[in-house]
Amino acid sequence: MSIRIAPVSLIALSLALAACASTPKDLPPPPQPSTSTNSAMSSQPTGPVPGSQADFLASVQSDTILFDTDRYNVDARDQGVLQSQAQWLARYPAKAISIEGHCDERGTRDYNIALGERRANAAKNYLVSLGIDASRITTVSYGKERPIALGSDEDSWAQNRRAVTVTVQ
């Protein structure tokens, strides 16, 4: 099923980005607190190599967006995260990414592979709507096979229902 996404210009995005500058509390904190999310890492003499995975992680709000139970829609908070990823991708047009879709353990195995694929595609479609070339983005679903939070409780499940962007180096 294709997800209906209104075209959004990058200019509108930057505004939206400013509007959701506060990092959602259930997202992983930026790994490099001293770096600004908007400035190119190349200006930092000891920073990560420009265009590297470390640079990506240091530059974006988060590499991860989260989903509600059995859902795959990209909500406003997710949009802010993906916008920051789109900005990084715009800066490094030769870089490709893989988006990994995941589910919590409270689903059947086959269905979760399909659902993880759906989530990864939802993130991909949003990035494409921001002007990122679809050929730069691959998706892979891990279903419920790779949980990041290991508890069997709502908090863990919420962390595991995710799409994670990884740069292809």
For other proteins, the binding residues (CB under 8 A) are 1-3, 70, 72, 105-106, 108-111, 113-115, 117-118, 120-122, 125, 140-141, 143, 145-148, 150-152
CB of 118 to other proteins, least distance (A): 4
By C-beta, is 88 or 126 nearer to other proteins?
Answer: 126
> Tokens representing 39?
């400035």
By C-beta, is 49 or 148 nearer to other proteins?
Answer: 148
> Tokens representing 150?
């290991």
**DSSP E strands, the chain:** 64-66, 96-102, 137-143, 162-168
CB of 17 to other proteins, least distance (A): 25
Containing 14, the helix (H) or strand (E) segment is helix 10-19
CB of 22 to other proteins, least distance (A): 29
CB of 116 to other proteins, least distance (A): 9
